[in-house]
Chain A
Amino acid sequence: MVLATDLKGPDGRLLFKSGTPLSSRHATLLARVGVEEVDVREDTALTAEQLREIEDYVRDFFLYANPDFEPTIAMFHIALDQVAEAVAEGWVLPDLSRRRAVSVEHLEDIFLTGMGTPETIVKHESELASFPDIYFRIREVLADERASADAIARVVGTDVSLAAKLLKLVNSPFYGFPQEIDSVSRAVALVGHRELSTLALGISAINYFRDIPPELVDMRGFWRHSITCGVIAKILAETQTGLSSERFFTAGLLHDVGRLILFKKLPYASTEAMLFARENAIPLVEAEREIMGFCHTDISKPLLASWKFPETLSNMVNHHHDPMTFPNPLGPSVIHVADTLTNVVELAQGGMYAVPPLDEAAWEQLGLDPSILRGVAESCRKQIEAIMEAFF
């Protein structure tokens, strides 16, 4: 979208020339100076050559997927449009050297290959650091069917930062309550005690990973991926009857939690896996299996078990790459589809990884028309910034 006419401020000063591409940044700026309405037109600024470049760029990330599968084709078109929009707003497509260059030589693994199994790696982790106490107290409340709304509010209230995050989250467009919610007990009353406890459980779990050094992995990017997956998972779950969609945000939030342990324990190998994935245009999960002999869901299994994480949530996390191997595949399938779509929408934000193949049987589980995906991706995009803000 570009400005259709020159835009002047309330004082008559020229703010932006006609033809300026508009981004969300402009909207904030204009609101600040008191401009409420602007004339816009469709942006046709992209040349045929640029469109072709975008098409090639996006296609490269889909080489691993079935090019004849309708939902995958729908995702391809979503990525095309989102990338085009980003380019129109000034984003430059990363070239090949930027897509590959990372040096891993300063990193040192705690385990040499062949010495660490997923179980020993997780054991090493849990012996070193204790899990936050608040997590276990929330889990107790969650497990107790008779726990009152007050009880959960009391537990959450003892952790100021957790309470603040929860409030920001329930006040974000993700929940869309018309009035500001200013207390945890009010949040419990509106959102429901199970959903709020599940959320609190997820947030207290991610707090555990605050100390991962940022030079190792782009943690903001990691959580953005996780939150996006959570938002999409919740939206998808709401289309299903008989699913309590409350859990899906939390499951999405933690779906890659095994990767965090890999970053901590096998930084060299996990960075090698990232490079291997980029260089060979294969999904990261495949590269992990090739480089380490196991993948992040092999880690999340013993990890979540050692945390005594609620089983329904664990199953969704542990099986998001192989949902159909789980006896009750609908939950894991939702996370699987959400994770795939997350990879797709990330392409326009500089995502570097091949889109993993969509498990066709898992998609069938949801019984959805592929046309729904565009709306899901759009509404997720509208919500993500506010939620990111709640977390960081």
Chain B
Amino acid sequence: MGSLFSDSITLRKSIGISDDEFVQLRDFIYDKTGIFVDGKRKYLFESRLTKRLTALGLPSFSDYIKFLKFDPRRAAELNKLYELVTTNETSLFRDLKQLEAFQNNVLKEKLEEQRAAGRRELNIWSAGCSSGEEPYTLSILLHETLRMELARWRITITAVDLSPAMIARAKEGVYGDYAFKTTPDAMKSRYFTKEGDGWKIKPAVARLVNFQEMNLNDPLALKRVPRSHIVFCRNVIIYFDQEMKRRVVSAFYDNLLPGGYMMLGHSETLHKISSSFKPVFHPGTIAYRKEG
């Protein structure tokens, strides 16, 4: 059959970005966030950001770069930009095997250690928490592990993300079916209540989590996080280049208390990034221990 589409339909819908503009914008984003946009993604980048140019009525990427640097409204625009350069794909109970290994080994060990020392407190840092799925999952695991004993513990899960929009959604704590695709039904009914089309996290679980906006590229901000027994940073450093990966991992190392653990995403590794940690192997995951 003949084509139903006019030959004049163009593939290009976006405003073109020159190589020079691309490099400027890429460097700008890197300076601000540590997120590195590979040159291979130039066209993807161009089409995603075209929406912002159109919304602001800017004719070219040079104008957009000027806007980001000098316009009085730049702070709000930066947040929009952050949302477009990171994907926030995650779910509750993501990577069950890792979580199970974490609960039965790392968490158990830390809790016993603290009990033995008579300090019933635990600090966990969830870095790059997106819309809250990970810190809430950790809070649920703590509820499951400690049960009635939980009341006698002081537990803080500091959950940070670059994007204010994500933090706002995390605080709201309402999730649709997609977020539950790997959540055991019992967990869902025990820790969530139906709300509209979705499910809302129960206040007791939310209470342990302290959300804040944070740029992992801001060394001063990182220093304000209370020292942790455990750091979770899953599927975040994937967006960074080697240099930024090293910086962030070393900040986690400094933040961890001696004997603390760092957990990375299933497919992430410290290979070529840091040799300070001691990898501890469990079926389903590697926990990185700070010796001492």
Contact = CB atoms under 8 A, between A and B. Distances in A.
A112 B47 contact: no
B97 A272 contact: no
A292 B5 contact: no
Given A103-B182, A105-B97, A279-B87, A81 B3 contact: yes
Contacts of A63: 43-44, 47-48
B230 interface: no
Contacts of A108: 97, 284
B87 A81 contact: no
Contacts of B11: 59, 62, 65, 67-68, 72-73, 76
Q: Is the interface of B mostly helix, strand, loop or mixed?
A: loop
Contacts of B269: 113-114, 293
A59 B13 contact: yes
Interface string A68-84: 10001100110011001
Interface in A27-54: 42-44, 46, 51
B66 interface: no
A357 interface: yes
Contact of A67 (B4, B12, B40, B96): B12
Nearest to A107: B97
Nearest to B271: A114
Contacts of B285: 112
Given A105-B95, A268-B266, A280-B87, A64 B271 contact: no
Contacts of A101: 178, 181
A383 interface: no
A42 to B, nearest CB: 6
Contacts of A42: 1-2
A293 B264 CA distance: 15
Given A77-B3, A112-B286, A281-B44, A292 B178 contact: no
Contacts of A59: 11, 13
A1 interface: yes
B4 to A, nearest CB: 5
Contacts of A241: none
Nearest to A97: B178
Interface string B36-52: 00001101100110000
Contacts of A85: 1
B12 A64 contact: no
Interface in A1-46: 1, 42-44, 46
A360 interface: no
B10 interface: yes
A292 B268 CA distance: 8
Contacts of B238: 290-291
B149 interface: no
B20 interface: no
Given A62-B11, A97-B178, A282-B41, A105 B5 contact: no
A240 interface: no
A269 interface: yes
Contacts of B44: 63-64, 281-282
B267 A272 contact: yes
A245 interface: no
B185 interface: no
A120 B221 CA distance: 41
A73 B10 contact: yes
B70 interface: no
B38 to A, nearest CB: 8
A195 interface: no
B97 to A, nearest CB: 7
A97 B43 CA distance: 24
A68 B41 contact: no
A41 to B, nearest CB: 10
Interface in A80-96: 80-81, 84-85
A68 B13 CA distance: 10
Nearest to B286: A112
B267 A269 contact: yes
B51 to A, nearest CB: 12
A66 interface: yes
Contacts of B268: 113
A298 interface: no
A293 B284 CA distance: 19
Nearest to A43: B1
A103 B181 contact: yes
A68 B4 contact: no
Q: Which of A1, A67, A275 has the most CB of B within 10 A?
A: A67
B5 A113 contact: no
B187 interface: no
Contacts of B5: 51, 55, 77, 80-81, 84
Given A1-B1, A77-B7, A108-B284, 19 more contacts: A43-B1, A44-B4, A55-B5, A67-B13, A67-B14, A73-B10, A80-B5, A81-B3, A103-B182, A105-B93, A105-B95, A113-B271, A114-B286, A272-B266, A272-B267, A279-B89, A280-B87, A282-B41, A357-B43
Interface of A: 1, 42-44, 46, 51, 55, 59, 62-68, 72-73, 76-77, 80-81, 84-85, 97, 100-101, 103, 105, 108, 112-114, 268-269, 272, 275-276, 279-282, 286, 290-293, 357
Interface of B: 1-5, 7, 9-14, 16, 40-41, 43-44, 47-48, 87, 89, 93, 95-97, 178, 181-182, 238, 266-271, 281, 284-286
